[in-house]
Amino acid sequence: MRRSLPDLIPWALLLAVSSVVLTAMRLNPALDVATTWKSPAGHFEVVTLVAAICAVVGVATSIVVVRTPNVRLLCLTLSFVTLTGLVFVHGAATPGFAVDAEYNLVIGFSMRLAFVFGALFLAASAIQWEGRAADLVNRYRVIILGSTLALLVGYAVLALVDPEWVPAWFSTSGALAWGTTTFVCALGGFAAVRYFAGYRRSQLPLYGAVTLGAVLFVQAQIAQHLGATWGGTFWLYHLQLLTGFGAILWGIAVEYGRGRALRSIEELTVSDIVAQLRSGQTESIAGLAAALEARDGYTLGHGERVAALAIFVGRELKLSTPRLRALAAGALLHDVGKIGVPDAVLHKHGPLDPEERAVIEEHPERGDTMLAAAFNGVVERGVIRHHHERWDGSGYPDRLAAEAIPLEARIVAVADVYDALRSNRAYRPAWEREDAVSLIVEGAGTQFDPRCVAALHAVIDQWEAQYAADHLAYDERRAA
C-alpha cells in the first residue's frame, strides 16, 4: 500500500553515462575531436526539438498558473517559457536557416541567456515565497507571464533580423563565461537538491523527473562551457538538454495517463514537508482514511492532524525520510480498526461499560489484521497495532513496555493523545493548550516515552500554528 520509490537505477545510469562521457572527452581531447560533426541541419533539428519540449512543458504549467495563484509555479513556468524562446533563437540562428551568416554571436549569446534565466527561474521555483511580494506577484501573474512572452518575441525579432548587434567582447570574455557557468551550476544544483528532497518525501514521479532535468541542465552548462563548436562535447550538451527536458515531459505524460497531470504540477510547488509526505500516499491509504472519518465523526481531521504532529516529532528525533513516510501513513490510519466497531459502541455518548471498552480496545489488533497484507513494511503496522501501548507496560493489546514498543508507535501515542485533548468532543470542549501539554508532560515515563514528550514540546508551537483544531466545531454523530 505504501508506494515504494520508483526505480532509480535507469536514471542513475543515465546520469552516470553522461558524466563518464563528459569526463572522458575532457581527459582525452582527441576523443572530442574524433567525434566532431559539422552539421548545421543536425544542430537545428536537435535544438528545435529541445525548444518544442520546453514549449509543451511551458504550456502545461501555464494552464495551472492561470488557474492557481502560486509564485513558485509561475517561476517554474517562466523557466520553461524563457528556455523555449531563447533556445528557439539559438537554433534559428544556425547558419543557413533564419540567419545567412556563416557564424554569428547571437547563437552563443542566446544559449548563454537560456542557461542563466532557465537556472534563475528554476531555482526560484524551489523556494518558498510569502508575504506582500508573493501576493503582488500572484495578483499580476498573468501580466507577468504575458510580458515575458512579449519580451521573448521582441528579442527573437531583434536577434534574427540583426544578429550582429551582440558585442564582440561577449565571445572573448573569460570572466563572463566562468561567471555565468558558476551561476548556472549553483542555482541549478540548488534546484536539483530541493526537488530531490521533495521526491524522496512524496515519491511522486514528476519530482524525480524535474530533479533529473535539473542535474542534466547543470551538466549541459558545464559541457557547453568546456566544449568547442561541432566537437563531441558540443553535441553532448545538446543531448543532455534533450534528455533532461524530455524526462520532465515524460513525468507529465505519466501523470496525464493517470488523470492527474495538472494536479501533479501543482504538487511540485508544495514545500511543506507534511504536505509533501502526504501527497505521496497512495489512493488506498487516502480512501481508508476517508472511510474511517465517515464511520466516526469525532475523528474528523484527527488522523491528518496526528500524522502532521507525528511528522514534526519524528523530524525532531532525526528519523530518516523513509521512516517519516511510513510514520505518516501509519499515523493517518492508526485508528483504522475502528471501522469494525459497532456504531452503538463507537458513537455512545456516555461512559463505556467493561464489555464495550473491551470492544474498543480491539481496534489496534483489528487494524493490524486488516492491513497485514497491504503494507510492504512493518513500521505502519507497528504504529497501528501499538499506538495504545504504554511506556510502563500497562497498555494494550500486547502490554509492551519501554523500548520494546516501536519508536514510531511511541511517537503516535503522544501525538494521538495531544490532538484528542485539543479537539472538541461531544462530552467536552477542547482543552486549553497549556493543560494538554501539562497532562502529556505528567505522563512522561509512565504513559509516554520521555524522549517523545520532549520532542513534542519542542515542536508544539509550529504544529499549533498550522494544525490545531480548537477552532473547529464538533460535528456530533448519533448512533443509529
**Quick check: is 302 in a domain?**
yes
pLDDT (tens digit per residue) in 216-269: 999 999 999 998 889 999 999 999 999 999 999 988 888 777 777 777 777 776
The pLDDT-based confidence of 469 (bands split at 50, 70, 90) is: low
Cis previous bond, 397, omega within 30: yes
Q: Is 480 domain-assigned? A: no
Of the pLDDT bands very low, low, confident and very high (cuts 50, 70, 90), residue 473 is very low
- Counting Cα atoms < 13 Å in the Cβ hemisphere of 143 gives 5
Last residue of a domain, one of 239, 267, 295: 267
- CATH of residue 112: 1.20.1070
On whether both 388 and 250 belong to a single domain, the answer is no
Same domain, 252 and 306: no
- Per residue in 391-435, pLDDT tens? 999 999 999 999 999 999 999 999 999 988 888 766 677 888 899
Write the pLDDT tens digit of every residue in 54-79: 999 999 999 999 988 989 999 999 99
Is 234 found in the same domain as 282?
no
Give the CATH number of the domain where residue 437 resides: 1.10.3210.10
pLDDT at 353 over 50: yes
Q: How far does CA 310 lie from the centroid of its chain?
A: 19
| Residue 475 domain-assigned (yes or no) | no
Same domain, residue pair 21 and 138 = yes
pLDDT band at 475 (very low <50, low <70, confident <90, very high): very low
Domain co-membership, 235 together with 295: no
User: Given this model, what pLDDT does residue 325 score?
Assistant: 82
312 grid coordinates: 514534526
Examine residue 95 and state whether it is found in any structural domain, yes or no.
Answer: yes
Cell numbers 553532448: residue: 236
Q: Cα(84)–Cα(360) distance, rounded to whole angstroms?
A: 60
Q: Note the pLDDT of residue 472.
A: 46
Question: Among 237, 267, 297, where does a domain finish?
Answer: 267
pLDDT at 1 over 50: no
- Is the alpha carbon torsion for 244, 246, 248, 251 positive or negative? negative
Residue range(s) defining the domain that contains residue 59: 9-267
pTM of model > 0.95: no
Q: Averaged over 45-60, what is the pLDDT?
A: 96
Strand partners, 95: 99
Q: What pLDDT score does 8 carry?
A: 65
Reply yes or no on whether the pLDDT at 300 is more than 80: no
Is 354 inside a domain boundary?
Answer: yes
Q: Tell me the mean pLDDT in the region 314-334.
A: 87
The runs of H, that is alpha helices, within 258-320 are 261-267, 273-279, 283-295, 302-316
Whether residue 370 is found in the same domain as residue 418 = yes
Q: What is the mean pLDDT of residues 113-121?
A: 97
Determine contact, residues 89/106, Cβ cutoff 8 Å.
yes
**Arithmetic mean of pLDDT, 207-221:** 93
- Mean pLDDT over 82-89 rounds to 96
Structure confidence at residue 153 as a pLDDT band (50, 70, 90):
very high
Are 217 and 90 found together in one domain? yes
Would you place residue 477 in the very low, low, confident or very high pLDDT band (cuts 50, 70, 90)?
very low
Q: Is residue 21 part of a domain?
A: yes
- Backbone phi, psi, residue 448, to 5°: -120, 155
235, 267, 299 — which closes off a domain? 267
Predicted pLDDT of residue 288? 65
Count: domains in the chain? 2
**pLDDT for the residue numbered 447:** 95
Regarding whether 302 and 211 lie in a shared domain, the answer is no
In this prediction, residue 3 carries a pLDDT of 43
Q: What is the mean pLDDT of the chain?
A: 84
The answer to whether residue 343 scores a pLDDT higher than 70 is no
pLDDT tens figures, 190-200: 999 999 988 88
In a domain, 272, yes or no: no
Residue 473 lies in a domain: no
- Rounded-to-integer distance, Cα 235 and Cα 237, Å: 6
Is residue 122 over pLDDT 90? Answer: yes
Residues 164 and 84 in one domain: yes
Within this chain, do residues 262 and 286 fall inside the same structural domain, yes or no? no
More confident residue, 260 or 31: 31
Q: Are residues 49 and 196 in the same domain?
A: yes
Beta bridge partners of 99: 95
225 and 285: one domain?
no
Res 478: pLDDT: 35
The pLDDT assigned to 471 comes to 44
